[in-house]
Amino acid sequence: MQLTDILQSTCVRVPLQATDKQGAIFELVDLLAEQGQITDAENAREAVWQREATRTTGIGHGLAIPHGKTNACSGLVMAIGKPAEPIDFQSIDGKPVDVIILLVSPVDQTGPHIQALATVSRMMTNPDTRAAIRDARNGDELFALIRAQDQITAANQ
């Protein structure tokens, strides 16, 4: 799976305005709604926040991958944001988060959701990739980095 198959350049926000976990998640959900990727922002916010309440999606290395399932979308959608200052996500490594990748998918579509989580996790295991993403100054730069990573992955398959 290539992330740019599900991520639109207009769904990348650098910097996020939010200064806390819930605000950042809701800002990314609202971005998806503004871009016509989801039909019911409130429903999607609730789905992602309920998932976050069960267990943190702060997976370490400054990355959080909040996600949820809702009928507010017809297929898997994605948004990425970088807060102006790192945010406490109660991450498993205890460190704040500076890259947030939101995934929202329909209730009945598990496969693409799992594939996207795996693809993001693989991409972010590379310290050079993490550093480049952190250094991105705006949404266009960040989207270009994701596209470049997709091309590298495709060339290696």
50-83 pLDDT, tens digit each? 999 999 999 999 999 999 999 999 999 999 999 9
- What is the reported pLDDT for 113? 84
Per residue in 135-154, pLDDT (tens digit) is: 999 999 999 999 999 998 88
| 5: confidence class by pLDDT, cuts 50, 70, 90 | very high
| 90: confidence class by pLDDT, cuts 50, 70, 90 | very high
Indicate the class that CATH gives domain 3-155: alpha beta
- What is the reported pLDDT for 112? 86
Calpha distance 151→144 (Å, rounded): 11
Could you state, in order of their start, the residue ranges of all structural domains in the chain?
A: 3-155
Calpha distance 88→101 (Å, rounded): 15
- What is the reported pLDDT for 110? 81
| 109: confidence class by pLDDT, cuts 50, 70, 90 | confident
- What is the reported pLDDT for 117? 87
Q: What does the pLDDT average to over 39-45? A: 97
Mean per-residue pLDDT of the chain: 94
Whether the per-residue pLDDT at 157 is higher than 80: the answer is: no
Whether the per-residue pLDDT at 18 is higher than 80: the answer is: yes
Calpha distance 68→42 (Å, rounded): 12
Calpha distance 143→147 (Å, rounded): 6
Among candidate residues 15, 103, 14, 94, the one with its CA nearest the CA of residue 56: 94
